[in-house]
């Protein structure tokens, strides 16, 4: 049962599709920490996962609003972006709906606040497959952390087999 998977996406639509496959393993109370450079595909990932969780409306980056909630979905989603926050207190001030037990929370730039995130979470790192090709493929590294992910990563691996990066 793998605790880490590396996937390859050939564009935004594939990133959304593989995120939808990952979302089949998500459940309320889960936290997903996303990392990667600007433009790496973090919001595309959230769009695909949120659609799979039942969000019908448009999912956009919360860079300037900090938090967007989609609470009317069958699996409610909270999407936050901590890029513009200066202090850990700013993160704590985001509100109680962030990391609530009845939502799936996606945190863009989650690596910057990993100390505040649950130890039991899914880390998603998006990087360029080729540093010289800004429009090229992305590598999507998934790391299941904590006991609840021990049993789910095998299911994620099966759901994402089409995007599996070999080697």
How high is the pLDDT of residue 167?
53
CA distances from 7 to 17, 68, 70, 126 (A): 12, 27, 27, 9
pLDDT per position in the chain (167 positions), as tens? 458 999 999 999 999 999 999 999 999 999 999 999 988 999 999 999 999 999 999 999 887 778 899 999 999 999 998 886 665 566 656 667 778 899 999 999 999 888 888 999 999 999 998 888 878 899 999 999 999 998 899 999 999 999 998 75
Q: Which residues contact 129 (CB under 8 A, 6 or more apart)?
A: 8, 136, 137, 138, 139
How high is the pLDDT of residue 42?
96
Q: Quote the pTM value.
A: 0.92
Number of domains in the chain: 1
How high is the pLDDT of residue 73?
94
Q: Tell me the residue ranges of DSSP E strands in the chain.
A: 4-9, 31-35, 67-70, 77-81, 104-108, 121-128, 138-145
CATH code of the domain in which 92 resides? 3.40.50.300
Q: Which residues contact 130 (CB under 8 A, 6 or more apart)?
A: 136, 137
Tell me the residue range of the domain where 141 lies: 4-163
How high is the pLDDT of residue 89?
60
């Amino acid at each position: 049962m793998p605790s880490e998977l590396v996937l390859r996406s050939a564009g935004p639509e594939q990133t959304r599709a593989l995120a939808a496959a990952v979302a089949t393993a998500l459940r309320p109370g889960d936290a997903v920490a996303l990392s990667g450079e600007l433009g790496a595909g973090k919001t595309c990932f959230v769009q695909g996962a949120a659609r799979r969780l039942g969000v019908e409306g448009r999912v956009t980056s919360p860079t300037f609003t900090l938090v967007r909630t989609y609470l009317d979905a069958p699996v409610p989603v909270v999407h936050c972006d901590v890029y513009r926050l200066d202090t850990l207190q700013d993160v704590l001030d985001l509100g109680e709906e962030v990391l609530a037990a009845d939502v799936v929370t996606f945190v863009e730039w989650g690596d910057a606040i990993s100390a505040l995130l649950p130890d039991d979470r899914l880390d998603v790192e998006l990087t360029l497959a080729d540093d010289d090709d800004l429009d090229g493929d992305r590598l999507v590294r998934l790391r299941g952390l904590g006991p609840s992910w021990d049993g789910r990563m095998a299911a994620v691996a099966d759901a994402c087999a089409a995007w599996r990066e070999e080697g």
